[in-house]
Amino acid sequence: MKVTKAQAQANRAHIVETASTLFRERGYDGVGIADLMAFAGFTHGGFYKHFESKADLMAQAATCGFAQTAAKADGADAVAFVKQYLSREHRDAPGDGCTMAALCADAGRQPEAIKTAFATGIESVLGTLGAPFDAPERGKQRAKARARRIALIAQVVGAIVLSRACPDDSPLADEILDACRSAVLSGLSPASPGASDSPVG
């Protein structure tokens, strides 16, 4: 049976979403094309009907993952966002979690197209988090607000990366999350300088 254009697009989107999850769970080197296609419910031979290469799929999967992260962050309350991000649940479920925490280290060793997808994705998350706060700001105030968002994202992503590097039952895994959660939340306190344009919602 001939596959319609609409079905082909749906199949492609399904493969991208599946790859996004698997890459976050296993890393780029931990997923082969044959396994990925089988997991998505397709044959290995169909891969090149949709993608030029694995790197092509990696870039598209990164874009998909960043869109999911931005959607979760859109309109989020600052405290709720940080608590959820720096939770044991997020730490233990990389496949459903943030693309930055799962794959930034891998992306640094990949071709330029994947790095470009990450740069674009990080910008999208920064924009999503900042939109409600610093849109009215101008000049140095906007630059300072952006710098705080970058610093906050680096801290929460780094905390997840460090915690995941520890054994699941290691007390240090939880200690890292607890320490960074407390530090970030204290920085979001209304009493903190610049709290009115905090980096997340």
Domains of the chain by residue range: 61-197
- Cα(67)–Cα(96) distance, rounded to whole angstroms? 13
pLDDT per residue over 105-160, tens digit each? 999 999 999 999 999 999 998 888 765 444 455 567 878 888 888 998 999 999 99
Sign of CA dihedral 142, 143, 146, 148: negative
Tokens linked to 157? 């992503």
44, 37 contact by CB (below 8 A): yes
Give me the CATH topology for the region 61-197. Tetracycline Repressor; domain 2 (1.10.357)
Assigned token pair, 2: 């001939």
What is the per-residue pLDDT across 18-72, written as a single tens digit (0 to 9) for each?
999 999 999 999 999 999 999 999 988 889 989 999 999 999 999 999 999 888 8
pLDDT recorded at residue 148: 85
139 residue type, one letter: G
CA distance 25 to 187: 31
What pLDDT was estimated at residue 135? 46
Report the Cα 199 to chain-centroid distance in Å.
16
58 vs 80: CA distance, rounded Å: 30
Other CB atoms within 10 Å distance of the CB of residue 6: 8
Residue with tokens 């090149």: 48
pLDDT at 142: 77
With beta carbons less than 8 A apart as the criterion, state whether 75 and 49 touch: no
Is residue 51 within 8 A of residue 178, CB to CB? The reply is no
